[in-house]
Structure 1
C-alpha cells in the first residue's frame, strides 16, 4: 500500500518527464487500440460481405430461406450465450466504458474483447442494424486497459489510458482522429485534463495512422458538396429545429423500446435473441438495404438519387429496424446507424428545399452532410464532436459554418425539449443499482483527477478549507495562469484554476460525482 502511495506522490513531482511519459503511453494505446479496432472493422466487413453472399444464394428458394432462418435462430442463441458469459459486452459498450472510468465497474478486459468481437461479428453477419463504432470505443478502451494491466501502470494512468483508448477506438472506426480526441472530453471523461489531452491526441492520431495503413487514406464518405448561399441560411435554422425534435424523439423511443424488451422477463433471453435474428433474416429478404450499419444506404445516397418516396421508406424502415436491433441488447453500436438516419433526414430536407424553395440541385449533398451532424448533436449532445466528425468523414473543410449552425441549433432544441443525452440515459440505466466496487487493502491506491473551476462557480473566491470535499479527497496541486500554487487551507480558489485532486478508490464513483457537483454548481 505504501509503495502505491509513493508511486502516486512520485508522479505529482515528475513534471519534467511527464510529457515524454504521456506521449509514450499515447503511442502504446494508439497502436494497441488501433490494431484491435482495425481487426474488428475487417472482420465486420467480411461478415457483411458474407451476409450479402448468403442473401444472393438463397434468393428465390424457399428451402434455402428456411434453412437460413433456422441458422439465424441458432446464431441468436449463440449471441445470447456470449452475452451471458460476459454481460458487459452487451449493447454499444460506451456506457460500460464510461462506468469503468468513473469507478462504477472494473471490466474484465480480455473477456470483453473476446465477447464483443465474436458477438458483434455474429450480429452483423445476421444483419442486425448495428454499427462498429460504439463497440470500437469499448474495444479500444479495453485494449488500453490490457496494456495498463500488463505493464503494471498506476491507477491514474490506467484510467487515462482507458479514456484515450476509447477515443482511439472511435478514431480508428471513423478515420477521425480529432473527433476521437474531442469525444474523450465531451462523452467519455467529461473534464479537461492537460495530461489526458496530450495522451489522447497522440493515441487518436496513432490509431488513425494504423487504420489508414490497412484501409487507405480516403475518407469514409466522399461527398463533393457545394456551399449554401448565406441568404438561404434560414433553411438551416428550420432544419436544425427539425433535427433537434427528431433527436429528442429518437432518445425517448430508444429507451421505451429497451424497457419493453426487458419487460418480457418470462421469455428466456436466448429465445428473444433467436426471434430478433429471425426477424432480421425476414427483413433481409424484402429490404436488404437497411441491414447492418447502413453502408448500402450510404452508397445509395452517394451513387444514386433516390426519389423522395424511397428516401422516406428507407428512413422509416432503418429507424424501426435500428430500434428493434439495439433494444435486443445484442453487441453493436448506434453511432454509424444514427449518422445514416441523419443523412437521410438531410436528404429529405434537401429534396423538399429544391422543390419548394428553388434551391439548386447541386446542394443536395450539402443537406446530407448537415443532417448527419445535426442528428448526432441532438442525440448524443456532443455538438463539437459531431461537427468535427462529419467534416473528417467527408474530407470537406468548407462546410464548417453550416455544420455549426445546424448542429448547435439542433443541440439547443433537444435540450429545450428536456430529454437527456442518449449515452447519459444508457449510462444511468447501466449503473443503476451497481454496487460500489469492493476493494481490499491491496487495491487502495489513490487516483489523481484534474478539474477546471468554471466561471461562475460557487468555488470562485472561496478558501479550500471552506469546502466540504469529503474525507477521501485531497487537493494536491493547483495551477493558475500556468503558475503552480501550493494548496493550503487558506488558499483562495479562482475561476480558471486547474486543480488536481487525489481520490481514494474505495469510494471513487461517489466521491468523483460529489466533486463534479461541487465544482459545477
Structure 2
C-alpha cells in the first residue's frame, strides 16, 4: 500500500509532474556543469595531442614510438577503469535505452567519474570516439541517482534518466532541441506528458548552464547555404540512398570489431585495448589530425577548403578507425566519428556531381557535406528527425531542411529495405546478452 501511495504522489497529476520537473532542473544543472568541463577538457587535450605528435616528429626515426606509447598506455588505463563497472563501456546509449524499456537496472553513480576520466583518457589518447556517449550516460546516471534518492517510482526514474541522457546529448553538441528529440524518437520512442516536460526542462537547464560556462557559439561555423536548384533534390536523394546502405555496412563493421575483440580472450582486455591504442597512435604519427573525435576535420570540410584527394583519404582512414576505436570498449560515443564520415562522403559526392555537370550549374560541397552528415546519421541510428535537427543546430543552418528531408528519406528507405538493424538496437541486445538483467 505505501508503494502505491508513493506512486500516486508522482503520477501525471500536477503535484507529481512538478516534483519530477524540479528533479530534472537539478539534474540538468549538474550535467550542464559536468558536460561543459568534459568538453573543455577534451578540447584542451586534443590540442596537446597535436603538439605532442609534432614534438615527436623531432626524432624522425624513433619519434613514432611516442604517440604509439601514449595510445597504448592511455587506452589500456581507460579500459582498466571500467573493470569494476562494465556498464560504463562504450557509448552507454544502449544502457539508457534498456532501462527505459525495463530491460535493465541503472548503474552505479561511479559510472559518472569513470565515463568522465575514462573518456578523457581514451579520446585524448587519439581514439576516434565521440564526446556525446559519455555525456549521455553521465546525465542518465545522475537522473537515476536523483530519482532513487527521492524514492521516485520506477516509471518516473526511467523517464528522468532518459530525459537527462538527452540533456547530456544537448550539452555535447550545443543542440538543445536535438537532445530532446533524441529522447522521444530514439530512447523512449513515445511522447508522454511527464516525459515531455522533464525532457524539455532538463535539456533547457543543461544548455543554459553549459552556455554560461562555454558560450553559445554553434559547434561548427558555416557560411550561409542555399538549398540549390530543384534538380539537386534528385542528387540529394541518391546521396541519401547510398548513405543508408553505407550506414548498414558501417554498423556491421562496428559490431564485427566488437566480436573480433571479444574472441581474442586469451589476452586480458586491457592488453587488447592497448593494442588498439597502439594502432591508433601509429596512425597519429602519419596523420595527426585524423585521430580523436574529428571535429577539426569536420570544421575544415564545412569551411569548404578541402580538395577531393584528402577527402578520400580521410574517408578511408576514418571508415575503419571509428569501428576499431569503439572495439576497445573504452568510454566514448559513435556520433562524432560517424558525422565526419557522412560529411566526407557528402563532399566527395558533390565533387563527383560537379565533374559531370557544367561549371555554372555546380553544387555546393558544403551543402552536400551537411546533408551527408544527416543522412549517414539516419542510416546508422535510424532517427531521421533527431539527425536533421541536431545537424541544423550544430551548423546553425536551416536553409537545407528540404534536402535533409529528402536525403533522410532515402537513407531510411534503403537501410530498411536491406533490413539493417539500427546500431543501438544491436548494441542493446549484445549488452543484455553480456549483462543479464540483475
Cα gap change, 1:231 to 1:78, in 2 (>3 Å) = closer
What SS is found at the alignment partner of 2:83?
A: helix
* Post-superposition offset of 1:122: 0.4
Deviations 1:204-239 (A, max 9, x none): 111121222122222111222222111322111211
Q: For 2:395 and 2:283, locate their aligned partners in 1 and report how far apart those are by CA, in whole Å.
A: 30
Task: Show the counterpart of 1:376.
Answer: 377
* Post-superposition offset of 1:75: 2.4
Task: Work out which of the residue numbers 35, 52, 56 in structure 1 matches 2:33.
Answer: 35
Structure 1 residue runs without a partner (length 5+): 438-521
Higher mean C-alpha displacement, 145-154 vs 34-43? 145-154
Any residues of structure 2 matched to 1:178-189 within 5 Å, and which?
A: 178-189=177-188
* Post-superposition offset of 1:371: 0.2
Higher mean C-alpha displacement, 88-97 vs 183-192? 183-192
Q: For 2:365 and 2:72, locate their aligned partners in 1 and report how far apart those are by CA, in whole Å.
A: 41
Task: Show the counterpart of 1:509.
Answer: none
Task: Show the counterpart of 1:247.
Answer: 247
Cα gap change, 1:285 to 1:164, in 2 (>3 Å) = same
Any residues of structure 2 matched to 1:55-454 within 5 Å, and which?
A: 55-61=53-59, 62-63=61-62, 65-223=64-222, 224-303=224-303, 305-358=305-358, 360-361=361-362, 363-432=364-433, 434-437=435-438
What SS is found at the alignment partner of 1:92?
A: coil
C-alpha contact 1:32 1:144 (8 A) present in aligned 2? no
Judging by fraction of residues, say which structure has more strand. 1
Deviations 1:20-43 (A, max 9, x none): 334323322221222221121122
Task: Show the counterpart of 1:17.
Answer: 15
Deviations 1:411-447 (A, max 9, x none): 111011111001111011111254343xxxxxxxxxx
* Post-superposition offset of 1:63: 4.8
What SS is found at the alignment partner of 1:432?
A: helix
What SS is found at the alignment partner of 2:146?
A: helix
Q: For 1:281 and 1:165, locate their aligned partners in 2 and report how far apart those are by CA, in whole Å.
A: 34
What SS is found at the alignment partner of 1:85?
A: coil
C-alpha contact 1:227 1:363 (8 A) present in aligned 2? no
CA-based RMSD of the aligned residues comes to: 1.8
Higher mean C-alpha displacement, 413-422 vs 199-208? 199-208
C-alpha contact 1:132 1:333 (8 A) present in aligned 2? yes
Cα gap change, 1:264 to 1:433, in 2 (>3 Å) = closer
Structure 2 residue runs without a partner (length 5+): none
Cα gap change, 1:302 to 1:433, in 2 (>3 Å) = closer
Deviations 1:298-327 (A, max 9, x none): 132134522212111111101111111111
C-alpha contact 1:176 1:389 (8 A) present in aligned 2? yes
TM-score calculated relative to the size of structure 1? 0.80
Q: For 1:32 and 1:10, locate their aligned partners in 2 and report how far apart those are by CA, in whole Å.
A: 25
* Post-superposition offset of 1:71: 4.0
Q: For 2:91 and 2:336, locate their aligned partners in 1 and report how far apart those are by CA, in whole Å.
A: 11
C-alpha contact 2:94 2:424 (8 A) present in aligned 1? yes
Deviations 1:75-97 (A, max 9, x none): 23322321212211111111112
* Post-superposition offset of 1:155: 2.4
* Post-superposition offset of 1:100: 2.4
Q: For 1:320 and 1:269, locate their aligned partners in 2 and report how far apart those are by CA, in whole Å.
A: 20
Q: For 1:186 and 1:116, locate their aligned partners in 2 and report how far apart those are by CA, in whole Å.
A: 24
Deviations 1:344-374 (A, max 9, x none): 1110111111221236456221111100000
Cα gap change, 1:89 to 1:315, in 2 (>3 Å) = same
* Post-superposition offset of 1:123: 0.6
Larger Rg belongs to: 1
Cα gap change, 1:433 to 1:333, in 2 (>3 Å) = closer
Q: For 2:296 and 2:240, locate their aligned partners in 1 and report how far apart those are by CA, in whole Å.
A: 26
* Post-superposition offset of 1:272: 0.7
C-alpha contact 2:10 2:20 (8 A) present in aligned 1? no
C-alpha contact 1:109 1:143 (8 A) present in aligned 2? no
Point out which structure has higher relative CO (alpha carbons under 8 A, 6+ apart). 2
Deviations 1:173-230 (A, max 9, x none): 1111111111002211122212101110111111121222122222111222222111
